[in-house]
Structure 1
Amino acid sequence: MTDTTRLTTASGIPVADNQNSVTAGPRGAVLLQDFHLIEKLQHFNRERIPERVVHAKGSGAYGTFTVTHDITKYTKAKLFGAVGKTTETFLRFSTVGGEKGSADTERDPRGFALRFYTEEGNWDLVGNNTPTFFLKDGIKFPDFIHTQKRDPQTNLKSPTAVWDFWSRTPESLHQVTILFSDRGTPDGYRHMDGFGSHTFSLINAAGERVWCKWHLKTRQGIRNLDAAEAQRLAGTDPDYAQRDLFNAIANGDFPQWDVYVQVMREDQVAAWEARTGWSAFDLTKVWPHADFPRIPVGVLELNRNPDNYHAEVEQAALSPSHIVPGLGFSPDKMLQSRLFGYHDAQLYRVGTNHQQLPVNRPRCPVHHQQRDGYMAVDNGGAARNYDPVQAGGSNPSGLGHGEPGWVLEGVAGRYDDRATADDFTQAGNLFRLMTPDAKDRLVTNIANAMQSVPDEIRQRQLAHFTKADPAYGQGVAAKLATLIQR
């Protein structure tokens, strides 16, 4: 009989900490030796056949990115090399939690996965329509998504599981506030913004690094659906967003987004973190624009529909691990997990040679020693399938990433800052920015979603809303009281 009181790995090894990844010091990066993390992510990626385990319902289109402003002082990436330069792109939009047949208008974050086919390889900026996420550490990602899927006994969606998880994870409050605001049900894909969400980095020709966040602002204007209209469309036109995107492009009404970047110098990090109490690499937080203004970079336009949905959208395999010289990562713990998890998911879902498919194939020359496996349609011919070791030591060519490292400090271990972390200020700031009618819709949406969950969970979650702003907690409590009395 299974002992559900003791958490173990699949091999029966006791798990010492299921809340925090093993990192080099409190900030990270994440260590590959954390087998519990790796096993969780690997098993999670293999839980669905054949659709994506997350982001299953999606739409895609091709387009172009055009540079409008010079950012070469920050990055040597060739796609930004000159104002006016264009790069072919592919963008896949999606809902996150639903199955492939779910409705486009469900309350859910929207995936915003953008590929740039550059002359130095593919750059995949795999983000969402929100600048934040529910978690700061990838070790909790499989647990979180399980709560968004179906109950293992009833095979029904479970509001109790959803709110139980969130109420025990106050770091989720900022994203929960976004999700249940008007932005949780965007009016199609053309009328929403996109974000890289994570902290990334830019490296210039001198080898200098800055940290950055990517923003894509819709030129079509923000439009959202109210809860009633989103629910109506889910029943009458569940493919609403797919239809809207495809028809707009087919009719020559090409959607566009202005692309911006926020930049934080390495010498600014410590002072900003000390002043705000927030980590620059925490995915549940934003960088306020007053501290780090958005810098214009270029314009993204979608102007061509795929000819074959399965070949070009369903088999599109993007990963944040795909970057080009002049771009880099950061110690963001969620990003570190995604660098492994996404590529591993594509290896499982599409196959070990998925990068040979037309939608995934780089538009530049490719040479490597990978061979064989399923569907090896471009298998290297007679070229040598190994790279010899240089007995006298390597002589770097200057090509490739060649990015500067960042300093790793501290003892490797599992670090939990949740007892001291500020999970409430930014959520409260967002609430206070809303108009009175937007606040009313927010608390109404939350109350409707929480009314069926046990009172213990409701009270735990109400305490989080109240810490963010007393009026936030009072508003939800009042709506809940009205609903429960009916």
Structure 2
Amino acid sequence: MSDRPRLTTTAGAPVPSNQYSLTAGARGPILLEDYQLMEKIAHHNRERIPERIVHAKGWGAYGELHITEDLSRYTIAKALQKGKVTPMLARFSTVAGELGAADHERDVRGFSLKFYTEEGNWDLVGNNTPVFFIRDPMKFADFIHTQKRHPKTNLRSATAMWDWWSLSPESLHQVTILMSDRGLPIDPMHMNGYGSHTYSLWNDRGERYWVKFHFKTQQGHKFFTNEEGEALIGKTREGYQEALFGGIERGEFPRWTVQLQIMPELEADKCPFDPFDLTKVWPHSMYPCIDVGYFELNRNAENYFAEIEQAAFSPSNKVPGVGYSPDRVLQGRLFAYADAHRYRLGTHYEALPVNAPKCPVHNYVKDGAMNFFGGITSGNPDAYYEPNSVAGSPAEVPTVAEPPLRITGDASRYNHREGNDDYSQPRALFNLFDAGQKARLFSNIAAAMGGVPGEIVERQLAHFKLAHPDYEAGVRAALEKQHGYKVDTVSAQPAAAE
């Protein structure tokens, strides 16, 4: 075995035996001086890091973003210029399930993209749906509690889920998508992705445009019914990982068409709906989707833990030419995502190889746990603060400052607590479904309502009725068929929009 590398400790010392512990005599107790054993056990005890609070179960791969159209009128972002090819990492995930959850459960899917641009990392953190359950970040933690385990039973609670949804009518649009065919894609390759939030682009003239990002699968949409998903879970809990990893290994590289919806900045004042409301879509008739390129995934990670589990995506990672918007949930996530990574991975999580930018990094961040990258990154040990007069030290770049926001409308127009229409867009979506899609929608909702108290069921049915009478009637009929449900004695009324 002389041609094989030497097995060593983490400090580089050669290991004489990796089969037996060091004892006091042939049958004596193990000695504390067996530092190799202690190191091995200690590292094993620490092999797991905290899983993500949400999106714990995920699958990912590397690829490239290709821009094929001229976007210079909208943005100075170099990664969005015609002909540009940018390396990237994608991670897909379920929202509610823990790290060991089955892949084929009905749930929203995360759709996160990290672009390693020459101007720094740009992350788009979205889902496979264009909307979400909430319009204000104040409600996020409570919503996620309803998707997790009951503190006493340690079981998922359909009662908590529907109680919260029925008291939060803004969730109806997302609930309708989740319970439709799109709520259980067969694998990551056969679903769309969306930036979901409203972002902005700005150009070299200081003009800002609001933008929605869409990533349309070129593989086509394919889904499972609840019954098909349950049957597959009985055979494998890793169907998404098997499909994505195996397909790329076979040279079957999936692609998504990149599309933009674009709104001139001041049109937000005249828009008949709040364009920054995460529970709303922009009608394509008003703001058509524009094809601008595609991305392809073509390389698997060499080590899942290092490159997928430790991958950290945050909407706070952006580049010149890309900006934010008054979307309240986006504003909350700008802090929440990066803070979650600092807790889960460590203070310097951005320096981990999978998260490290491919461009030079210069700042005045210093010390802290896991400073494994050689000290401060200013390039000069005398430059550990700013401003300073040290020659060659990093300095601010005023030329990449964003133009000011120019929204001039009445601030009350963007009040997210009153006067919101939570039913028109779910109604429009419901009207797009054919008879088979509606039947599956009704059946999926009824299945998810098993065991839920009648008062909560009636409250939610009232929301379905406000969206469309046929919506309520179809779910009620499915409830009676599946659970023998009859009208409860409680006269429930829909909760008012908050």
Task: Provide the TM-score with structure 1 as the length reference.
Answer: 0.85
Structure whose alpha-carbon radius of gyration is higher: 2
Instruction: Quote the Cα distance in structure 2 between the aligned partners of 1:311 and 1:401.
Output: 34
5 Å-filtered alignment, 1:185-264, equals 185-264=184-263
Letter in structure 1 aligned against 2:125: V
Cα shift at 1:417? 4.3
Letter in structure 1 aligned against 2:90: L
Cα shift at 1:270? 2.2
For residue 284 of structure 2, what is the aligned residue in structure 1?
Answer: 289
Cα shift at 1:405? 3.2
Cα shift at 1:382? 4.4
Seen in structure 2, the aligned counterparts of structure 1 residues 397 and 336 have a Cα distance that, compared at 3 Å, is: closer
Report the 3-state secondary structure (helix = DSSP H, G, I; strand = E; otherwise coil) of the residue aligned with 1:73.
coil
Report the 3-state secondary structure (helix = DSSP H, G, I; strand = E; otherwise coil) of the residue aligned with 1:132.
coil
Instruction: Quote the Cα distance in structure 1 between the aligned partners of 2:257 and 2:154.
Output: 42
Instruction: Quote the Cα distance in structure 1 between the aligned partners of 2:250 and 2:104.
Output: 23
For residue 90 of structure 1, what is the aligned residue in structure 2?
Answer: 89
Asked if the contact 1:326–1:403 (Cα under 8 Å) also holds between the matched residues in 2, the reply is: no
Q: Are residues 1:298 and 2:297 paired?
A: no
For residue 364 of structure 1, what is the aligned residue in structure 2?
Answer: 359
For residue 64 of structure 1, what is the aligned residue in structure 2?
Answer: 64
Cα shift at 1:342? 0.3
Asked if the contact 1:325–1:403 (Cα under 8 Å) also holds between the matched residues in 2, the reply is: no
Report the 3-state secondary structure (helix = DSSP H, G, I; strand = E; otherwise coil) of the residue aligned with 1:368.
coil
Any gaps of 5 or more consecutive residues in structure 1?
1-47
Task: Provide the TM-score with structure 2 as the length reference.
Answer: 0.83
Q: Are residues 1:103 and 2:102 paired?
A: yes
Instruction: Quote the Cα distance in structure 2 between the aligned partners of 1:425 and 1:332.
Output: 20
For residue 78 of structure 1, what is the aligned residue in structure 2?
Answer: 78
Report the 3-state secondary structure (helix = DSSP H, G, I; strand = E; otherwise coil) of the residue aligned with 1:62.
strand
Aligned Cα RMSD in Å?
Answer: 1.9
Report the 3-state secondary structure (helix = DSSP H, G, I; strand = E; otherwise coil) of the residue aligned with 1:101.
coil
Q: Percent identity?
A: 53
For residue 25 of structure 1, what is the aligned residue in structure 2?
Answer: none
For residue 123 of structure 2, what is the aligned residue in structure 1?
Answer: 124
* Farther-moved stretch of structure 1 (263-272 vs 88-97): 263-272
For residue 445 of structure 1, what is the aligned residue in structure 2?
Answer: 444
Instruction: Quote the Cα distance in structure 2 between the aligned partners of 1:246 and 1:76.
Output: 35
Instruction: Quote the Cα distance in structure 1 between the aligned partners of 2:407 and 2:294.
Output: 34
Aligned pairs, number: 428
For residue 18 of structure 1, what is the aligned residue in structure 2?
Answer: none
Seen in structure 2, the aligned counterparts of structure 1 residues 432 and 407 have a Cα distance that, compared at 3 Å, is: closer
Report the 3-state secondary structure (helix = DSSP H, G, I; strand = E; otherwise coil) of the residue aligned with 1:143.
helix
Q: Are residues 1:55 and 2:55 paired?
A: yes
Q: Are residues 1:345 and 2:344 paired?
A: no
Asked if the contact 2:136–2:416 (Cα under 8 Å) also holds between the matched residues in 1, the reply is: no
String of CA shifts for 1:274-310, please: whole Å, max 9, x gaps: xxxx211000000011000011111100000000000
5 Å-filtered alignment, 1:268-279, equals 268-273=267-272, 278-279=273-274
Structure 1 runs (4+) greater than 6 angstroms displaced: 408-411
Cα shift at 1:484? 2.8
Any gaps of 5 or more consecutive residues in structure 2?
1-47, 390-394, 486-498
Seen in structure 2, the aligned counterparts of structure 1 residues 279 and 409 have a Cα distance that, compared at 3 Å, is: closer
Letter in structure 1 aligned against 2:65: F
Cα shift at 1:424? 0.5
Instruction: Quote the Cα distance in structure 2 between the aligned partners of 1:159 and 1:329.
Output: 35
